Structure 1
């Protein structure tokens, strides 16, 4: 009995050490990884999600700085008594301007596996976002003439395929 207890104790300690070491390694690698949060489409006044909306500004783009109306400040030997408040001028439009890559209209496709949003232009398209549903995984492929997003859950597959190689962009949704 004592011998069996010693084996169980040794096994428990070895297993605990292995789990701790594995967790520490994964945690160290994942701690430096940053993920962009999923982007949402704007809501309409009725509360339903907009299927077609104005192009969105990507989260990574920054507005261009406006040129300063004041000439460059002159340096003086005498320090100013107190820092002055920065001057702000009202902008003519409070809404952000569309990004330079926004080429058409935003179209959203809801499937059993998740949601795909494309920016569809006259002769090409770009993937704006793809969000898998609960319990689904996602994979994307992008080439110069098509974009494919596939959602998978077990044996179920849903594919959203946008092509524009032989004409204007068109989207096909298939379940298999």
Structure 2
């Protein structure tokens, strides 16, 4: 819940530019692009973060959407159902692209940014141009990346079983 000191403008610009070029009508392929961009962006940003000697525990992934965010007046049953599907039924997603598109079209991704900014008093987290200079950005996007890694593991296991038959 803190602003990262001296966060590079070049990384803020990269994140903002990617989002400004994103089509608002989510199409096949956009979900995978969303996941890939953010995974690569996390690597780059966290490499910089580590080189600064900053506290790594501040940017650890959440284990789930925090209860404080779920207590926000805007949190609703649709958002809870979206999180539940990901947290308890990842295998229902047929691909990484489907997971990424679901995060975008269910409003879960955006709601966590907006409600988290409000709940934690961190306006950076709720704004695309400044979100990466908030530690909350890493908590949230590293949870998303954890979900994606788990889905990739599930898909690999299913593919191995299919080939073994």
Write 1 or 2 for the structure with the bigger share of strand: 1
Interval containing the TM-score (normalised by the shorter chain): under 0.3
Larger-Rg structure: 1
Higher relative contact order (CA 8 A, sep 6+): 2
Query: TM-score when scaled to structure 1?
Result: 0.20
Greater helix proportion: 2
In the superposition, the TM-score normalised over structure 2's length comes to: 0.21
